Amino acid sequence: QKEVEQDPGPLSVPEGAIVSLNCTYSNSAFQYFMWYRQYSRKGPELLMYTYSSGNKEDGRFTAQVDKSSKYISLFIRDSQPSDSATYLCAMSWAGTYKYIFGTGTRLKVLA
Amino acid sequence: ETGVTQSPTHLIKTRGQQVTLRCSSQSGHNTVSWYQQALGQGPQFIFQYYREEENGRGNFPPRFSGLQFPNYSSELNVNALELDDSALYLCASRSHRDKTYEQYFGPGTRLTVT
């Protein structure tokens, strides 16, 4: 079993839809949770960073962490074609700066 | 743009050769990590450098080695290249003084081994 599981997609939605992206994990030591967006042949871009459980909102993006279920989510409201990319979740724990990444979910927002 | 730069953008090498990839970290960032991202996969942690020393390593063989320089720039060296080394190599920088674990990635170097 991988430490971090993420559905690879692809996930296709119409423009304006609410998108839900998810990751599950098995390591209860994870405390830091990140979402990155990666366009084709580019480096990952940090979207959201969350420490421990709870919600965090930034513009059209909301990140949720449920440590009791070992489950994290990223919601994108009013999705745009420019949101079409691969979304990577990443996790880390205290005392290390090593990130464990999911495989990424490919998202396509159709105009 | 994160301010993390990498060179070259892409290169092609032959199996058995050696390669050096370079990374310039974001201003004020003194910690650099390297990741390997195979096609269709998430990045895999190779190692991290802080104060010019390796202070964390993933499951990569010793033929993957690195350096960090006093200006915090870094190199990744790979010896005896294998076909499976073909991937996007990413460096990420952060400030050790930050209380957060946020890391910022460069655009990557795409390595093809034939």
**Cβ separation B42–A46 shorter than 8 A:** no
Q: What pLDDT is recorded for position B28? A: 78
Does A46 contact B102 at a Cβ distance shorter than 8 Å? yes
B74 to chain A, minimum CA–CA distance in Å?
Answer: 17
Asked if residues B66 and B14 have their Cβ atoms less than 8 Å apart, the reply is no
Task: Residue B101: name the closest of A52, A73, A6 by CA.
Answer: A52
Q: Is residue B113 a contact partner of residue B49, using CB atoms and an 8 Å limit?
A: no
| Pairwise CB contact (< 8 Å): B103 & A97 | yes
Q: Looking at beta carbons, which residues of chain A come within 8 Å of B103? A: 46, 97, 99
> So what's the pLDDT on residue B97?
66
Lowest mean pLDDT among A77-86, B20-29, B63-72: B20-29
Percentage with pLDDT > 70 across chain B: 94
| CA diameter of chain A | 44
In this predicted structure, the answer to whether residue B2 has a pLDDT above a threshold of 90 is no
The nearest alpha carbon in chain B to A9 belongs to: B40
Q: How does pLDDT run along chain A (111 residues), one tens digit per residue?
A: 789 999 888 999 999 999 999 999 999 999 999 999 999 888 999 999 998 888 999 999 999 999 999 999 999 999 999 999 999 999 998 877 789 999 999 999 999
Q: Contact at 8 Å (CB) between B88 and B108?
A: yes
Quick check: A42 and B43 CB within 8 A? no
Q: Do A96 and B100 touch (CB under 8 A)?
A: no
Strands A105-110 and A11-14: parallel
CA dihedral B43, B2, B92, A92 (to 10 degrees): -70
The pLDDT tens digits for B89-102 are 999 998 766 666 78
Q: State residue B72's pLDDT score.
A: 85
- Numbered residues of chain A with Cβ closer than 8 Å to any chain B Cβ: 4, 6, 8, 32, 34, 36, 41-46, 49, 51, 88, 90, 92, 96-104
Tell me the per-residue pLDDT of B25-41, one tens digit each, with 9 for 90 and over.
887 788 899 999 999 99
Interval A46-78: pLDDT, tens = 999 998 888 999 999 999 999 999 999 999 999
Both tokens of residue A45?
């871009």
User: What residues contact residue A30 under an 8 Å CB cut-off, 6+ apart?
Assistant: A91, A92, A93, A100
SS3 B84: helix
d(CA A74, CA A95): 25
